[in-house]
Chain A
Amino acid sequence: AQSVSQHNHHVILSEAASLELGCNYSYGGTVNLFWYVQYPGQHLQLLLKYFSGDPLVKGIKGFEAEFIKSKFSFNLRKPSVQWSDTAEYFCAVGYGGATNKLIFGTGTLLAVQP
C-alpha cells in the first residue's frame, strides 16, 4: 500500500535556526507532492506543491522543498525559522497523478523558541 513517512514527529528549534523536515513516500510511479501547514486553531493551508519541472519548489513564507526522485523524498526546508512558524506540518502525496486525492504523513509538530 502507498504510504508517506515523516521522520520527525516533534521538532524544537530556536529562532534563526535552519529547518529541514523529512518526507518519504513509497510509490515509484507518478506522484504529486504537497506540504501543508496547520497553525494553532487554524485550517490546513497549502505551503507548496510539486507536479513537474524544477524539482526545487519555492512556497510561501520562505519555505522550499526539493523533490529527489531517486530517494522518493520531498523534504521541506527553511533557512531561518521564526517564532511564527510554530505549527504542525504535513507532507501529502497524490498517487497516479491525482491532485487532490491525497495520502498524508503523520505530521511534524514544530515549536520555535523565541
Chain B
Amino acid sequence: GAVVSQHPSWVICKSGTSVKIECRSLDFQATTMFWYRQFPKQSLMLMATSNEGSKATYEQGVEKDKFLINHASLTLSTLTVTSAHPEDSSFYICSALGRGTSTEAFFGQGTRLTVV
C-alpha cells in the first residue's frame, strides 16, 4: 500500500513553545489529509481535514488558532501546536487520501508529543 510518513515520531517540548509535526505522502499525491489525536486509552479523535491549497476544516471543539494546519503541497501537510501546554500531550496521527482514491486513507505512524 501507499506510504505516509510523519516526523518526528516523538517530541518533548517546554510549555509555551510551539511544535510542528509533518505528514508526508511518499509515493502518491494526497489531495486530502486528516489529523487525529489520541489520548491514552481513548479513541482516535478527528481534529481537522485539510485539502491541498485551501483552509483546513476543524471539528467542533478544536481550536484552529492553537492547532495550525497547512497543506501547501500534494505531498505535505503540517500541524503546528502553538503555545503548547501539558494538556496538549497526546499521540497525533495523520492520514492521507490520494488523488482518485476515494475509499481508503493511509495512516502515518503517529507522533508522540509530550509537553513538560
Is A105's CB under 8 angstroms from B109's CB? no
Number of chain B residues whose Cβ lies closer than 8 Å to a Cβ of chain A: 24
Chain B 77-110, CB within 8 Å of chain A: the 1/0 string? 0000000000000000101010000111111111
Number of chain A residues whose Cβ lies closer than 8 Å to a Cβ of chain B: 21
Is A4's CB under 8 angstroms from B43's CB? yes
B1 partner, pick from A4, A9, A45, A106, beta carbons under 8 A: A45
A43→B32 CA distance, assembly (Å): 18
For the complex, is A90 an interface residue (Cβ under 8 Å from B)? yes
Nearest neighbor of B41 in chain A, beta-carbon distance: A106
Q: A103 to chain B: which residues have CB within 8 Å?
A: 43, 46
Q: B42 to chain A: which residues have CB within 8 Å?
A: 106
For the complex, is B67 an interface residue (Cβ under 8 Å from A)? no
A100 partner, pick from B1, B41, B45, B97, beta carbons under 8 A: B97
| Residues of B bordering A, CB below 8 Å | 1, 4, 32, 34, 36, 41-46, 49, 93, 95, 97, 102-110
| Residues of A bordering B, CB below 8 Å | 4, 9, 36, 42-46, 49, 51, 90, 92, 99-107
